[in-house]
Amino acid sequence: MIRFRIAALSAAVVLTAFSEAQTIQVNKENRTIAITATDKVTAIADQGTLHIGFIAYGPDSNTAYANGSRLSNAIVKALTDAGIPKDTIQSENQQIAPVQNYQVDKLTEAQKAQRQFQVTQSWTVKTGANDAAKALDLAVKAGANQSGQIDWGFKDENAPEVEAAAKALKRAHTQAEQMAISLNTKLGVLLYASNEVQPSGPRPMFRSMAAAPMAMDKVQPLAINPREIEKTATVYAVFAIE
């Protein structure tokens, strides 16, 4: 979108204040062109936030809690033993509660008796993008049967945003130059610029999974590749014209 305002010699127009401390005025002494330009950058994520968790059952709350405790500590131990720093493993949720009838209505009476209470727990694990598959594999093999979502991102979130804004500003300058030429004038200096980074779109994710009843130590990690992420910035720039 391109917008331009040029003050006629016989009129004076005041632009809306862009900040509390600065107001750009358009008048016969200060003619301007205002441009809104958008650009984007894409880059492969270098960081992943993995969501892992489990659900465990028991015939009573104490047994369910004991089963949950065993799984909880086994999962965290598997991750830390593999060299994943403990401070990158952060708790999300943990709960012990009775199992509702609708959750077990298709089970046999014997199975229902063993699922009277349930313990759920979940964490996030922040890893390098290329290590996400390994972390998921370790967690699932240790009992994390409600795992798999990965939020892809960057270690330095500002870098792609700054790059997108710089490209948008360059585009704005080019558009302003073309506008100035069409008006038989010359583009002057940049008077003001602001940018807004647009939120990224939904990130594809691998949904929750249950551990398969097989020799898990022989199962290879899932083939997971980091996602390409797009960052978009919109720049509003005001240029003087001579």
Domains and CATH numbers, the chain: 13-41+158-199+233-241 (no CATH), 47-153 (3.30.70.2970)
Q: C-alpha 92: how far from its chain's center?
A: 17
Which single residue is written with the structure tokens 């004038």? 185
Residue 22, pLDDT > 70, answer no
Whole-angstrom distance, CA of residue 163 vs CA of residue 152:
19
Contact present, 25 and 52 (Cβ < 8 Å): no
Q: Indicate whether this model's pTM tops 0.75.
A: no
Contact present, 125 and 133 (Cβ < 8 Å): no
Average pLDDT over residues 161-181: 95
List the single range of 78-82, 171-175, 187-191, 199-203 with lowest mean pLDDT: 199-203
82 CB neighbour count, 10 Å cutoff: 13
Residue 18, pLDDT > 80, answer no
Whole-angstrom distance, CA of residue 24 vs CA of residue 27:
10
Whole-angstrom distance, CA of residue 5 vs CA of residue 11:
12
